[in-house]
Amino acid sequence: MAGRGRGQLTFSVEIIGIGKGENLPPSCIQPTPVYPPLEQKPVPLQTGEEAEYMLALKQEFRGAMRTLPFYIRPTAPKKDVERYSDKYQKIETSDILEWKPDWRRFPKELRVRETRPSKDKGPAVPKKVKGPRVDKVEIMRKLETLEQKEKEGSSDEEEAEKKKPEEEEADGEEVYDEEEFEDETDYAMSYFDNGEEFGGDSDDNMDEAVY
Amino acid sequence: MTAQEERLCGLLLQEHFGEVVEKVGTHLLCNGNLNLRALVHETKLPLDLVKKSVCVLVQQGMCTFCTGRRGPGAPVEYQICGEKVLHMLRYPRYIYTAKSLYGDTGELIVEEILQRGQMTMSNTVSTVADRLTHNMPEGQCMDYSEVVTAFSRLVETHFLQRSAPMTPAGSSTSGGADSNPPSVTEPIQPETNPDCYKLPYINISGKGKRTRSDDGDAEQSTAKKAKTDNSESGDEGIYWQVNFERFHLHFRDQAIISAVASKLDQTSSEIVRTMLRMSEVTTPANAAFTQALSANEIFRSLPSTYNIARPILDQYLTLLVDDPVCLHIYSQIHATSFLMTVCVHLCSLVGLCHYLAMLCVRFGSRSARIFRLLLRKRHLEQKQVEDFAMVPAKEAKDMLYKLLSENLVQLQEIPKTPDHAPSRTFYLYTVNQLPTARLLLQHCYKTVGNLIERRLYETKENKQTSEKSMIITKIGISCSTTGRSPLSYTKVCVWSTCPKTLQVFVCSLHLVKLMSVNNCIDNCNRVLFSHGSSNARACRLK
């Protein structure tokens, strides 16, 4: 046992049950095969009514899950060109994905998406549906107001005409205000001033640091 | 959650909810608690898709969320429960169990709720009634009240339960109750709700409707009526989910009963079944023993069809009590009543049998014999193993080393002297039950994962041929219905050459086989898992 760790083991092999004359198994260099040979034959599969019914259930369930709204399809990658037919296809998919969770049971932050897609994705069709309703109400109101005006006479009409320009003027003022506001918040000038000063300082500092 | 379990969860999510949910789910699994922002950022998916998939996960009860874990005002954090995802493997078994217990109605109720995660009672009842009516012969239809009774029976036996109510955000916005804002809102366990198994009053009446495309306005108007009925049925916001724990308890009871039947006889298994059934709802899920029952009580609740007389029952009970190996039924004399409890750790015995059988299959019966020997004697030296197992020394050594290399058997060193010299050390072989069970469970998960992957691969490889064959059969059907000359059909059939059809057939056979293996393994899986958890519980109790 002189050559410690040189090919020989540090202990007598007999103690772990390997006899004197026996060879140790050769050391393994290759990785184990992906499909190792089967020593024992596998047991046959379960058969019978129960197993078959369960199998049918599994297949049916998987099939059903694909048709439910919970099966979320990834957004299709954008094609090279936007096509006219695209928007109709989108509407079809959004119909499939119709599912309204009970928002009392979900965190609110998840809800935002509910309003968004309806604005973004289905712009054309819902508007058409909503359009006539709104129009009817407006038309009725207009008609009523017109009727009243006709009854009251022409003097009111003149007043109304006077009012309109006033309103326009007010609108103009508002727009002007916004512009002023933008000017106030624009800090481009001051930014440039600061930048120059700061740059000079840092250069000086650099020089000091080097020497 | 181990790597194998994560992989399997991903595959299952992909299979049931699509790739997007899979991505979100696995990311949540790998990273624990995450808020929405982090989730969107790290998965690099569009915000809307992430929101949708989180919604799906929450709806299915796989994902929980809590607010304010990192102080008040912190964003909502989401957490996924891997165990619940893995339950998806077992869905067919749950549905089948419901069918065997409560017939077709029960089956459909459980199936619907499993598909949608959680549903209101009125919604479930109407959907199930419609589906049943659809399958019935013309002129008959399913009454809502029948479905309601099936539903209430499922609830009474705790197979269905109310999902936990939402307290956090909703109540604070409504004002009034938020005198002290909740600092941390953890997800609530459904069992803490006292009304967990209480049925709400619903005013739903009518019959299932057939969905037909050729019906006129009359049908539509009734459908509209039904819709308005649903919205006023009086159980909004009360959602029901499947109680997986209860199903697992049922599976465990079945295992115990079959074990008793094979060990003793049919009659005693029926007695044990009665005992288990009597205490199934009253015993908490993780109790070690069932509730105590008196012999009188057992006698009274034995079904009359068994025809067991009182003295015979007493004899059977003493037999069950005396049997040391099979059943740990403990009896105590309490004043006058004779109390019996069934030790549900028996389950561990069943689990043991299972992995012995597994060993048998994989390494042969003699290895299994060595394993059993080690289990019984706890610690053995190699020489002793050879002697006791009555296996030639050389073979025994081979088998032992093989078991050791597979980690099914452990080697323990006990040095006689502090220098750990091999010549003065005992080498003892032992079997460590719990780690072994875990190991086998991981093997099972790996196998199931491999099976699913293989199936996906097979379907992908043979997609073209199978699609082609489907088209051909479709053409054949259309030919026969339209009465066109069969000549065109034969022309079409020439496309599909003989080897092609054979290939399609073989492929479909493969797929079916893979699926059924999946089911078998799941069976094994379940036993191992319950064994592991019950053992862990026992350890904790000690």
Give B421-473 pLDDT, tens digit per residue.
777 888 888 887 777 777 777 877 887 788 788 778 877 877 777 777 777 77
Give start and end residues of each alpha helix (H) in chain A: 49-67, 86-96, 112-120, 124-152, 154-185, 188-210
Inform me whether the pLDDT recorded for B72 exceeds 50. Answer: yes
Place of tokens 């059907």: B477
A71/B contact by beta carbon, under 8 A: yes
The DSSP annotation for B68-92 comes to -TTSTTPPPEEEE-HHHHHGGGGHH
Contact B15, A74 (CB under 8 A): no
Interface predicted TM-score (ipTM) of this complex, two decimals:
0.74
Average pLDDT (B15-32) is 89
Quick: pLDDT tens for B501-530: 666 666 666 666 666 566 556 665 566 666
**In terms of pLDDT, which residue wins out, A95 or B503?**
B503
> Residue A177 and residue A199: Cα distance in Å, rounded?
36
Q: Are the beta carbons of A58 and B382 separated by less than 8 Å?
A: no
Residues facing residue B289 across a β-bridge = B343
| pLDDT at res. B174 | 34
Average pLDDT (B2-9) is 88
> Chain A interface, mutation test: which of B16, B366, B401, B446, most A Cβ atoms within 10 Å?
B16
pLDDT range class, residue B207, cuts 50, 70, 90: low
Quick: pLDDT tens for A42-72: 667 667 788 778 878 888 888 888 888 888 8
Q: Name residues whose C-beta falls within 8 Å of residue B178's C-beta, 6 or more positions apart in sequence.
A: B171, B172
Inform me whether the pLDDT recorded for B121 exceeds 80. Answer: yes
The DSSP annotation for B331-375 comes to EEEETTEEEEEEBTTHHHHHHHHHHHHHHHHHH-HHHHHHHHHHH
> Residue B199 and residue B208: Cα distance in Å, rounded?
21
> Residue B17 and residue B60: Cα distance in Å, rounded?
10
Which tokens hold the place of B267? 């009659």
Q: Which helix (H) or strand (E) holds B516?
A: helix B498-541
Inform me whether the pLDDT recorded for A7 exceeds 60. Answer: no
- Between B36, B362, B519, which is nearest A51 by CB? B519
Domain segments of chain A: what residues? Answer: 46-74+94-108
Give the residue from chain A lying closest to B117, CA to CA: A70
Contact B131, B90 (CB under 8 A): no
> Chain B interface, mutation test: which of A67, A71, A72, most B Cβ atoms within 10 Å?
A72
What residues of chain B lie within 8 A of the CB of A58, using their CB?
Answer: 91-92, 515, 518-519
| pLDDT at res. B267 | 85
Place of tokens 């459904």: B190
> Chain A interface, mutation test: which of B22, B53, B59, B193, most A Cβ atoms within 10 Å?
B59
Q: Are the beta carbons of B21 and A72 separated by less than 8 Å?
A: yes
- Between B47, B60, B96, which is nearest A53 by CB? B96
| pLDDT at res. A3 | 45
| pLDDT at res. B217 | 40
- Please report, as a single letter, which amino acid is at residue B56: V
Q: Three-state SS for B281?
A: coil
Q: Are the beta carbons of A58 and B515 separated by less than 8 Å?
A: yes
Contact B197, B158 (CB under 8 A): yes
- Domains defined for chain B, CATH in brackets: 3-80 (1.10.10.10), 246-342 (1.10.10.10)
Quick: pLDDT tens for B280-334: 777 776 666 677 777 788 888 888 777 788 888 888 877 777 765 445 555 444 4
* Ranges B65-74, B100-109, B181-190, B376-385, most confident: B100-109
Q: Are the beta carbons of A74 and B382 separated by less than 8 Å?
A: no
Inform me whether the pLDDT recorded for B110 exceeds 90. Answer: yes
Taking a contact as any Cβ pair under 8 Å apart, which residues of chain B between 348 and 387 contact chain A? Answer: 361-364, 382-383
| pLDDT at res. A190 | 44
Q: Are the beta carbons of B519 and A50 separated by less than 8 Å?
A: no
A65/B contact by beta carbon, under 8 A: yes
What residues of chain A lie within 8 A of the CB of B422, using their CB?
Answer: 10-12, 15-16
Angle between helix B498-541 and B433-461 (nearest 10): 160
Q: Name residues whose C-beta falls within 8 Å of residue B415's C-beta, 6 or more positions apart in sequence.
A: B421, B424, B425, B426
